[in-house]
Structure 1
Amino acid sequence: MGIFLITMYTVVGCCYVENQGAQLIMNYSQLFSLVIIFIGYIGAILEHKTHLKKSIAMGLAATVLWFCLPFWLKLDHYELVLLYEDRFFEFSELFFFIFVAMSYVIALEEFGFFKFIQAALSRYHLSTRKLFWIVTSLAFFLSPLLDNLTTALLMGQLLLSFARSHRNLIQLGFIGIVIAANAGGVFSPFGDITSLMIWQEGHIQFLEFFPLFIPSLVTYLIPAFALSRAIHDLPLTERQAESIWDHWPAISIFMTFMGTILFTLIAEHAVGFPPVFGMLAGLMMLAILERTVLPQKHVHTDIFKRMGQIDFDTILFFYGLTLAVEALQLLNILELMARFLYQTFPEMLMCYTPAWQLNLGHIFIGLLSAIIDNIPMMAAVLKMNLNCSLGSWQLLTLTTGVGGSLLSLGSAAGIGLMGLAPKEYNFQKHLKWTPIILIGYFGGVASHFILNAKSFL
């Protein structure tokens, strides 16, 4: 609730700015658009009560906003089409990334990859609490190498393969995975899109991400300890260990998946190869692998039939959210919010030191990113051309990376896991732990100020 209050206070504050008196700067079209997207969020949050998929609410909100845009911005048909095509291409990259990642996760499940991992770990006599620490730790350390969404999907499916009947573990484990995946993505430019944006702008060099390791670890460990204490510590059913050669088809699919991710990242940064093409190439490699290399008993598997198992509700929710937030950006709402949080709001808190105004703005931007997607928020901040120290840029990377963990709808990792186990993990169940996650958020911020104090000079 506190995050919603901060958002509403920001919106109200954006309506006025101190410039030779109070001057109205947010017009009725901007306020109306905020009401529409707020209704879309409420519809997504109440999914379990209305029995309407979250993608429907957010998709309708995006449709209304884009229908009104040409009237508000006075665009002709050609200009509107250009705007929409540009935004739709951005979404298509996200769509195919999620689509291919989910296809691989489903294939790994069908070929028994997660059962193989389960059998390999059974020798250690795991309990539900030990399993929680294993999957969340893996999520934290894999996220910098892959990305937070792919990591969350893999660890979520691994947890389900172990403990599908332990609803308490699935609920708390999914929350822990979201926190760990988002935190782990901070100290690497490849772990999160916002980290990549700051790296590409040249504000932080590659090795300068590593001082964020301890602050990221703090944001993960504080809520993780609280979550682990709430887990019913029960022994897990053991499986007989199996030979690695019995599961070489599943392992080959996993290696192809990792190769797809690495190829996509390297090709994009080396020659500017669009990520969507790299992911689609990986999907075709999966189809070829299944038809020509894997044993005959798996030949009946049709990659296109498997696509029917993909959670399209999650993908279409991303579609609605992406276009709705892009509409806010076109209406300059995100820029107004950023300006308010960096200038007006710190002065309201009696903070007049420019450096601390920037740092307070970074902290509030992170909180706001739990509701509004962190990527366009980061873009709005970068457009302001802030004069920040290295420590301040690192703080922005930390807050925008982990702020989305406060709500299940606040990050790609959370939204993706909502599709894996909607009954066990949803908005309300995540919201119960938001205060603890918030403590971890401020703990990470405090540790960054203490450990990396020299970077702020």
Structure 2
Amino acid sequence: MLKIMLSFILCSAFAFGASTASTTEIPDLTMTWIGFASLIIFVVGYYFVAAEEKYEIDKAKPALFIGTFIFILIAIYYAMNGLDMNLVHTQAQHLILEIAEIFFFLFVAMTYIESLIHMNVFDRLKYNLISKGFTYRRLFWATGFIAFFLSPIADNLTTALILSTVLITIEKERRDFLVPGAINIVVAANAGGAWSPFGDITTLMAWTAGKGTFADFLFLFPSSIIGYLVTAFLLSKVVPNEVPVFDATKEKRPELADGAKVVMGLGIFTIFCAVMSHQVLHLPAMWGMMFGLSLLKVYSYGLKRKHGKDHFNIFHSIAKIENNTLMFFFGILAAVGGLYFLGWLALAAVVYDPAVLGPTLSNIGVGFLSAIVDNIPVMSAVLKASPEMGLDQWMLVTLAAGIGGSMISFGSAAGVGVMGKLHGIYTFGSHMKYAWTIVLGYFVSISVWYVQYQILGIGH
């Protein structure tokens, strides 16, 4: 069990090691009381995260507790034993910087989504879909394909947040549509992001690290879409083939608020700024996102002057974002940072050594590890280890990390985002009921990669 948990914890390293250089060597505290106490706290806390539905406790509560408490205990241990307190301060500062990049990226994405909700954009999309007489099953396929092909352009998290919002506006009650529909969106967004250099943070990391050119990632398209289609086909069988209730005489076509199209354009430009910030300017992706937020704020001021203060208030949109999702990310990454600081992650470094199992099996295993926590830290750890692998293996690990996170609800940023949007509906328990369909799709994707790269030699 301990070995399993060590593997589990390792994949959350999130490249903290790259930012922990210090003139003083960090002591290994794994076999001390603080080391064991922190590990136990992490395991127990994550149990309550996974059992959110059973105990009716929001996942952000245990995550935030373990994240903050572990670091407080570490600081107390350092003070009690006369160790260098500057190390604690430095580690905490590096940790804050790492968390801030994800935190503010999510913050801006959620603000744009709430703004579009306020301007009736998703109500219009819902009306356009339902008014065509689509059944729940056809709506399932429509939202899935939109997610798959939007994700490579935007990114998997933003795409999942947008489409899950559409899903909940289409139907608020029927779980037999909402649960498989939510899983479909998460799988589609992650699969779609896997074949684009900026469709997922993991692919962006591999691209910027020089593990493949822009065109190299496009060769993952067959693996991504075929694996997704297998999962979607199996999920579609449990979706009702009924037409949602729609009365054209009662439901009027929602009108977009003035400025809605400009806000949509600003949202697309914001994603572009995030990619350019990271790729060209070598700034964090969240820098471009925050710049996009500033543009939205300026535009909202213009709308207020033209239409009055009640037309659109960006601070109302900010007030409605899913703060529990942001707190969840903060808590989990803080807890993982504490375990790295203590030395637990170094003990499990062998998990990422392809020499143990060979590159193919190791990289397939990366997909399962990414499902346990998140695909971003998994890819960070692999890139940090930088094993000697050919282009085909780097594409495999990119594919595995990108789509593997779908196997568990909180295994990817997209999954966590949808859990926040469909709170109490799309949960760990409801996801695991259909997890077998995702695992099957995962192995189909790997099989397609094997035929394409190893047998046919396409993509080298």
Q: TM-score, normalised by structure 2?
A: 0.86
In the alignment, what sits opposite 1:34? Answer: 39
**One-letter code of the match for 1:266?**
M
CA-to-aligned-CA distance 1:375-410 (integer Å, 9 cap, x gap): 222222222231101111011001111111011111
Residues 173 and 291 (structure 1 numbering): CA distance in 2 closer, same or farther, change over 3 Å? Answer: same
- What is aligned with 2:150? 142
CA distance in 2, matches of 1:288, 1:170: 36
Mapped partners of 1:192, 1:150: distance in 2: 10
Q: Give the whole-Å Cα distance in 2 for the aligned partners of 1:213 and 1:290.
A: 39
Q: 2:276 corresponds to which residue?
A: 266
Shift of 1:149: 0.7
Deviation at 1:202, TM superposition (A): 0.8
Cα pair 1:127 1:236 within 8 Å, conserved:
yes
Query: How far apart in 1 are the matches of 2:30 and 2:87?
Result: 23
The 1:43/1:12 distance shift into structure 2, 3 A limit, reads: closer
Which of residues 187, 190, 194 is equivalent to 1:186?
Answer: 194
Correspondences of 1:39-438 after superposition (within 5 Å): 39-70=44-75, 71=77, 76-238=84-246, 247=257, 249-293=259-303, 296=307, 299-340=310-351, 342=353, 346=357, 357-438=358-439
The 2-side partners of 1:343 and 1:271 are apart by 33
- Give 1:231 shift: 0.5
Deviations 1:155-174 (A, max 9, x none): 00111122223332111100
CA distance in 2, matches of 1:267, 1:407: 31
Residue 20 of structure 1: aligned partner:
none
User: Unpaired segments of 5 or more residues in structure 2?
Assistant: 11-28
CA distance in 1, matches of 2:193, 2:410: 17
Counterpart in the other structure of 1:350 = none
Q: Which amino acid counterpart does residue 446 of structure 1 have in structure 2?
A: S
Code of the residue aligned with 1:448 in structure 2: it is W
Give, as a single letter, the amino acid of the residue that structure 2 aligns with 1:211.
F
Separation of aligned partners in 2, 1:406 and 1:132 = 19
Deviations 1:314-341 (A, max 9, x none): 1100001111222333345445434135
| 1:385–1:305 CA distance, 2 compared to 1 (3 A) | closer
Seen in structure 2, the aligned counterparts of structure 1 residues 226 and 299 have a Cα distance that, compared at 3 Å, is: same
Report the 3-state secondary structure (helix = DSSP H, G, I; strand = E; otherwise coil) of the residue aligned with 2:228: helix
Higher alpha-carbon deviation: 271-280 or 83-92: 271-280
Root mean square deviation, CA, Å: 3.0
Moved more, 81-90 or 283-292: 283-292
Contact kept, 8 Å, 2:120 with 2:257, in 1: the verdict is: yes
8 Å CA contact 1:58–1:320 kept in 2: the answer is: yes
Deviation track 1:349-389 (CA, whole Å, cap 9, x = no partner) reads: xxxxxxxx111111112101111332222222222231101
- Aligned-residue offset at 1:456: 9.2
Unaligned runs of 5+ in 1: 14-24, 347-356
Cα 1:291/1:383, change in 2 over 3 Å: closer
Say which SS state the counterpart of residue 259 (structure 2) adopts: helix
Shift of 1:424: 1.4
Partner SS for 1:359? helix
Deviation at 1:48, TM superposition (A): 2.9
Per the alignment, residue 19 of structure 2 pairs with none
Q: Distance in 1 between matches of 2:169 and 2:444?
A: 33
SS of 1:257's partner is helix
2-structure distance, mates of 1:75, 1:309 = 43
Superposition deviation, residue 262 in structure 1:
0.9
Kindly provide the amino acid, as one letter, of the partner of residue 7 in structure 1.
Answer: I
Shift of residue 122, structure 1, vs aligned partner = 3.9
Question: SS where residue 280 of structure 2 aligns?
Answer: helix
User: How many angstroms does 1:6 deviate by?
Assistant: 8.5
Q: How far apart in 2 are the matches of 1:211 and 1:393?
A: 12
| Separation in structure 1 between the aligned mates of residue 349 and residue 236 of structure 2, nearest angstrom | 36
Q: Which amino acid aligns with 2:126?
A: Q
Q: Pick the aligned partner of 2:4 from 4, 7, 24.
A: 7
Partner Cα distance (1:75, 1:446) in 2: 51
Amino acid of the residue matched to residue 46 of structure 1? A
Whole-Å Cα distance in 2 between the matches of residues 442 and 153 of structure 1? 26
Give the structure 2 partner of residue 352 of structure 1: none
Using the TM superposition, name which of 167-176 and 114-123 deviates more.
Answer: 114-123
Structure 1 residues 111 and 411: alpha-carbon distance in aligned structure 2, compared to 1, 3 A threshold = same
CA contact under 8 A between 2:101 and 2:285: conserved in structure 1?
yes
The one-letter amino acid of 2:263's match is I
Distance 1:10 1:92, change over 3 A: closer
Change (3 A) 1:344 1:262: closer
**1:12/1:368 CA distance change after superposition, 3 Å:** closer
